[in-house]
Amino acid sequence: MKILVTVKRVPDTAAEKRLDPADYTLDRESVETIMNPVDEYAVEEALRLKESSGEGEVVVLCMGPESALPAIRKALSLGPDAAVHVHDDALHGSDALATAKVLAAAIRHVGPDLVLSGSESTDARGSLVPSAVAELLGWPGLIGAKQLEVEGATVRIHRETEAGYDVLEAQGPAIVSVVKGINEPRYPSFRGIMAAKSRPVTDLTIADLGIDPGEVGSAGATTAVVDATSRPPRQSGQVVKDPGDGAAATELVEFLAAHKFI
């Protein structure tokens, strides 16, 4: 079984995220970056599937600038066999739809039986791409999995819901997006980190994927930012210290009542 896992390089959690005023794209270069946190769960799930079946191949797919390579190597250090890195100047400024087009084309190019992705990335937090990819490929898209089983050609997930989960099933090939907590991701071993340096990374351009520059990037954008402003940071209001017996609760009750919350 060939499993493809999509990973994205995103600004570090604590990094201040900034939009470039020239074109309102996210500045990914002057900040610390990491592999998108939820993607680690997707990589782990792919590795577990390969390990439990005793055979197969796990390939990482990343669409991102050349500077995304460290995130790819990070993913490889966990155990996947190879990676595909799609990068092209024409991709700068791509929106979710363009990203989905590129990933769908890359998926067709690689030809996996199953695609795993994280449910959302911490930069835009759109949660749109896995669904859009499934639609473009005409594959089932099983979104929000907190458990995954593959039995022959059948893919079964527990889809996280507000009060529990739904059991959904479809025939592969399929896209599955996973949520945090589906497993406990392994840490990279020293051997894994060293091995990652020599795992093959195939570079692809949009021409390799048969995509026209006009369909992606800023040129192909289906949305446009009108303006972006920084929200002034919140100020702290009143702070009350409790004498030790909980009596300050009364002041909080007054506050809540004054603001009509009770």
Partner 1 sequence: MATILVLVEHEEGNLKKVSAEMLAKARELGEPAAVFVGEGLDSARDGLARHGAATIYAATGEGWSNQLPGPLTDALDAAASRAEPAAVLVAATPAGKDAGARLAARKGWGMLADVSDIDSATGSGDGGGLVATQNVFGGATIVRARVTTGVPVLAVKPNSFPAQEAPAEPQVVDLGQREATGAEIRVIDHVVEERGGRPDVAEAETIVSGGRGLQDPANFALVEALADQLGAAVGASRAAVDAGWYPHQHQVGQTGKTVSPQLYVAVGISGAIQHRAGMQTSKTIVAINKDADAPIFAIADFGLVGDLFKVVPRLTDEIAKRKGG
Closer to partner 1 by CB, 34 or 196: give it: 34
Contact 225, 109 (CB under 8 A): no
Contact 81, 39 (CB under 8 A): no
* String of contacts with partner 1 for each residue 182-211, x by CB under 8 A: ------------------------------
The reply to whether 53 sits near partner 1 by the rule CB under 8 A is no
User: Which tokens is 260 given?
Assistant: 């009509």
Report d(CA 199, CA 64) in Å as an integer. Answer: 18
Single residue of 49, 107, 132, 176 touching partner 1 by CB under 8 A: 132
Footprint (CB under 8 A) of partner 1, residues 79-98: 95-97
Single residue of 3, 7, 38, 107 touching partner 1 by CB under 8 A: 38
The reply to whether 213 sits near partner 1 by the rule CB under 8 A is no
Q: How far is the CB of 54 from partner 1 (least distance, A)?
A: 27
User: Which tokens is 105 given?
Assistant: 């084309």
Single residue of 69, 168, 193, 219 touching partner 1 by CB under 8 A: 168
Closer to partner 1 by CB, 22 or 197: give it: 22
Report d(CA 126, CA 210) in Å as an integer. Answer: 26
Which of 142, 86, 76, 139 shows the shortest CA–CA distance to 113?
Answer: 139
Cβ-based neighbours of 148, under 8 Å, separated by 6 or more: 45, 49, 116, 155, 156, 157, 158, 176, 178, 182
Closer to partner 1 by CB, 75 or 97: give it: 97
Closer to partner 1 by CB, 29 or 245: give it: 245
The reply to whether 103 sits near partner 1 by the rule CB under 8 A is no
